[in-house]
Homo-oligomer: A and B are copies of this chain.
Amino acid sequence: MLVDGTQMRPIWFDADLKIAKVIDQRMLPHELVVADLNTVDDVIEAIQEMFVRGAPLIGATGAFGVYTAVLRDEGCNDDRLIAECDRVKAARPTAVNLAWGVERVLGACIDKTDRAARLAAALEEALAVVEEEAENCRLIGEHGLALIREIIKKKGGGPVNILTHCNAGWLACIEYGTATAPMYTAFDKGVDIHVWVDETRPLNQGARLTAWELGKHGIAHTVITDNAGGHLMQHGMVDLVIVGTDRTTWTGDVANKIGTYLKALAAKDNNIPFYVALPSSTIDWEMDNGVADIPIEERDPDEIRYIQGLDDAGNLAKVLVPPPASPCANHAFDVTPARLVTGLITERGVCRASKEGILNLFPERR
């Protein structure tokens, strides 16, 4: 989408250098830093250290990880390539898209025994992953727009107040984003919306990334603490919740950034529609019980202890909040059970968060 008038994506292929580049999102919103993915270690670092985050972008970065592995393996050795791909896949356990992106590009190139052919096949497939994700998000935006228009009709006018958690924006995807796609699509068509942006502790992806994205595009928004959504819903200030997901079971359970479950409970309690926007690449077609079975990553407690922002002198700095002696626990995701999800917005349309609803849209999975 637009950043200061320039079209931008969070990952792209630099044809001159023959490498992929990504925005190092850790520095946003205060600095726009670009990182080169020269080696597989760079790719792993970018995923693990969260230069890139968000299911579709992690998938795309994994896809370019395979390309990078081929690029750096002069010998065109299958075992080495598979081992490198395993390392990339292990960089973040919760994101099902990562394995998906890696497997897809690996599958498209491993049968080529000539290195140049393997490299060309890997690049072509990685680029295809990226373009398909962009198109998926565009379609999610179209389908989500219909929901927003319905609310406008019911309310008799705008603005439609949409609450979102974390960043499932274009920074997490390629274009449009997932949760934000209906927002961009609505805004671009002149529909009156306002977005409540959960700051999303501990890493503040809402305050840092979603607010930055929406602001750069000109969309009216307000940053709130993660604690505030329930109160806003009690008082009629939220018409619709849309969030993204890192993994959705084919029964409709939704793993997303920690705190999503609390917003879903509040939406249910106040009779507010709670939608999850996702490309179908995020669906886990084997898992039945998300709460019991989706592994939840525990990250470094220092992500809770230290908060990054701009200091008085205008430099990026971190401050320590709790007493240094106090332990912290950093569960990074939670699972919202399907019973709390009004519907899923996919690239094929909107469906109920149930096996039946999902299989109606994706009958080839029956």
Contact = CB atoms under 8 A, between A and B. Distances in A.
Interface of A: 29-30, 196-197, 199-202, 204, 207-208, 211-212, 215, 221-232, 234, 257-259, 261-263, 265-266, 269, 291, 296, 304-312, 317-323, 325-331, 333-335
Contact of A230 (B228, B261, B328): B261
A223 B327 contact: yes
A201 B215 contact: no
A331 B231 contact: yes
A105 to B, nearest CB: 33
Given A322-B208, A322-B211, A227 B262 contact: yes
B199 A230 contact: no
A202 B320 CA distance: 15
Contacts of A305: 223
Contacts of A266: 261-262, 265
Nearest to A301: B223
A310 B319 contact: yes
Given A207-B322, A215-B326, A259 B291 contact: no
Given A212-B323, A223-B322, A308-B321, 15 more contacts: A197-B326, A199-B321, A201-B201, A211-B323, A223-B327, A223-B328, A227-B257, A228-B329, A229-B262, A230-B262, A230-B334, A231-B334, A234-B335, A262-B265, A306-B309
A319 B228 CA distance: 21
A227 B226 CA distance: 7
A322 B199 contact: yes
Contacts of A318: 309, 311-312, 319
Contact of A201 (B211, B225, B258): B225
14 contacts: A196-B329, A204-B322, A208-B322, A222-B326, A224-B330, A226-B227, A228-B259, A228-B334, A230-B265, A231-B331, A234-B291, A265-B269, A309-B321, A310-B319
Given A199-B304, A307-B307, A259 B323 contact: no
A231 B322 contact: no
A227 B208 contact: no
Given A211-B323, A311-B319, A226 B224 contact: no
A229 B234 CA distance: 20
A202 B291 CA distance: 29
A239 to B, nearest CB: 16
